Structure 1
Amino acid sequence: MSASLPPLSLDTYRALVGLDTPFAPPPPVGPGEHAALVQRLLAQLGVDGTTGHLHEALEARGMALGGLDSRTRLRALLTVRGPTPLPDAFHHDLDRLLLGEAQARPRVTPTELPRLGDGRAAARCALWQGDITTLAVDAITNAANEQLLGCFQPFHPCIDNAIHCAAGPRLREDCAHIMALQGRPEPTGTAKATRGYNLPARFVLHTVGPIVRGPVRPEHAEALASSYRACLDLAAALPGVRSVALCAVSTGVFGYPKGPAARVALAAVGTWLRAHPGTLDLVVFNVFSDSDRAAYAQALSEGVLERATNGLKGHAVR
């Protein structure tokens, strides 16, 4: 990143995407309305060319549009559709649908999560395995790519896809507004904030972690630590944020090995918490797979978090 092109600051775009205006959701759809609402939404998307894009995406994966049920087809259409703004009436109907579906899923609240211990940092941290889109913290982290527009591959199992599907297309529209203002891809190790819309979390922190192809180098660790610091800095600057969930950034298709990535995450968060006492009440390290959880458990057993909190040097890259 050129020194002449600093990252777009939060204050530059916060009004553009309404970060200080709470999302006001419509009433959620009732069970008896669900099927009809899906059909109405499909009909609206059928006239804007999105179906053709989905046909191409499915053919590339050896799939056929006719093999999808109506709700799955709607999800796939929204995944491949670009960030062109949708009509307010469409957003209203889709928000009702997504909110109704969200109510049917278990919701995890921060007070239910056991802390990692009673140490200086451990008392403000938790390790939780599950779907981050069900976590009712104030802000969640999204592991994004440099375009910051979400995943366009239907049914791709990445966290970027899951978050955009649960939040709704307003999230992609907001990201597009920010990226248009920025005028260039999002640099590695930085982050941007949007509202969470139909997620339990009020905000989403989109960060681009490093891509690792081969051995992990010190510059990879610094870039990954920078991603976590950028997310925590954003959280501290957003209204009313006291709890944040951090996903395992870069450990999917970006190739960062899970063990070293967990050590970097714990060290970066512990150092940040030491430097910002009282700023956040809870930081949740969110993992999805058993191997992710094992990586964090091992790093915690090595004392990485507490060493960082106490200002002691650790070994984040190994």
Structure 2
Amino acid sequence: MTQDEKLDYLIDFFKKDSIEYKDMEVTKGNRRMVLRSLMNVRIPKSIPNNVLKIHDDYLQEEAREKGIVELDEIPTVRESFQSKSEYADKISIWQGDITRLEVDAIVNAANSQMLGCFVPCHKCIDNAIHSSAGIELREECNHYMKKIGKYKSYEEPTGSAIITSAYNLPCKHVIHTVGPIVGYKLTNDLRNDLRSCYESCLKIASENGVRSIAFCCISTGEFNFPNDEAAKIAVETVITFLREEAGKIDRVIFNVFKDLDKEIYELNLH
């Protein structure tokens, strides 16, 4: 099958799999968006193995088309701008799509339901990671939530982290963490919650043999944590961890998307 044929096949399957969207009209120009939307809104459940193989083949080829970025292509901050920061040879800043990174683990800024974003084609990182990994990621997260909650209502605590497989992403694992939501004002409790996110991710990474980890800018998007404060906490927490557990992690990458965040991280790691 060509990529186009796989795309048509998957759209047809997911439409038939959905009561609400089975009669959705699809045009040639919006097919990829339709597939992503159908995957986004789908409740966690398995699919036949033959369909899963086509689903996986399609997403893996899509990852190759986007361009996979290997770890040795990402310079450290010492190499990038002669940073004098502590552990400058173990820290990187990389701007771009985190789903392209071929590292041991990438960090997902999840919500407390821990099932990914159900809003079709939403621009949050949770949606992007689940869309690129594929439906198996939601299924694994759901299995974890049911096991922990013993089939009762359960929400993952703020500041905690879990690790899953990465499925069709180039990385090996996804570490999901629930960041704090900033409402009326930023408080010390919220700062401590964000610090816990980074600590929890680094701890679970070291416990699972993760040697390279890429952090997104946790809580700075939909959760409204101020970018400059978030970067300061992130850098301080990572350096403290490297100081105490230097042999457990070889590389920490601060993945940024906006120019503003790139500038902020560079200032914190000058």
Counterparts in 2 of 1:8-19, with a 5 A limit? Answer: none
1:112 maps to a residue whose letter is E
Is 2:14 aligned against 1:45?
Answer: yes
**Aligned CA distance change for structure 1 residues 218 and 159 (closer, same or farther; 3 Å):** same
Shift in Å at residue 119 of structure 1? 5.1
Q: Which residue of 1 aligns with 2:226?
A: 257
For residues 200 and 177 of structure 1, the distance between their equivalents in structure 2, rounded to whole angstroms, comes to: 23
Q: Which residue of 2 aligns with 1:7?
A: none
Is 2:85 aligned against 1:124?
Answer: no
For residues 54 and 137 of structure 1, the distance between their equivalents in structure 2, rounded to whole angstroms, comes to: 40
> Unaligned 5+ residue runs, structure 2?
79-83
Whether contact under 8 Å (1:150, 1:161) holds in the other structure is yes
Is 2:147 aligned against 1:186?
Answer: no
Whether contact under 8 Å (1:189, 1:209) holds in the other structure is yes
Partner SS for 2:40: helix
Is 2:214 aligned against 1:248?
Answer: no
Counterparts in 2 of 1:163-202, with a 5 A limit? Answer: 163-183=129-149, 184-202=154-172
Counterparts in 2 of 1:1-318, with a 5 A limit? Answer: 33-49=2-18, 51-52=20-21, 69-117=30-78, 120-183=86-149, 184-239=154-209, 241-301=210-270
Alignment TM-score, normalising by the size of structure 1? 0.78
Residue by residue, what CA displacement relative to the aligned partner does 1:38-89 show, whole Å, maximum 9, x if unpaired? 222122222222553997xxxxxxxx86696222211110011111222222
Whether contact under 8 Å (2:15, 2:21) holds in the other structure is no
Percent of pairs with identical residues = 41
Shift in Å at residue 300 of structure 1? 2.4
> Unaligned 5+ residue runs, structure 1?
1-31, 56-63, 302-318
Residue by residue, what CA displacement relative to the aligned partner does 1:82-129 show, whole Å, maximum 9, x if unpaired? 112222222111000011111112221111222122654211100111
For residues 203 and 251 of structure 1, the distance between their equivalents in structure 2, rounded to whole angstroms, comes to: 22
For residues 150 and 245 of structure 1, the distance between their equivalents in structure 2, rounded to whole angstroms, comes to: 18
Please provide the CA RMSD for this pair: 1.9
For residues 230 and 11 of structure 2, the distance between their equivalents in structure 1, rounded to whole angstroms, comes to: 41
1:227 maps to a residue whose letter is C
**Aligned CA distance change for structure 1 residues 50 and 66 (closer, same or farther; 3 Å):** farther
For residues 174 and 164 of structure 1, the distance between their equivalents in structure 2, rounded to whole angstroms, comes to: 11
1:283 maps to a residue whose letter is V
Residue by residue, what CA displacement relative to the aligned partner does 1:124-146 show, whole Å, maximum 9, x if unpaired? 10011110000111100000000
Alignment TM-score, normalising by the size of structure 2? 0.91
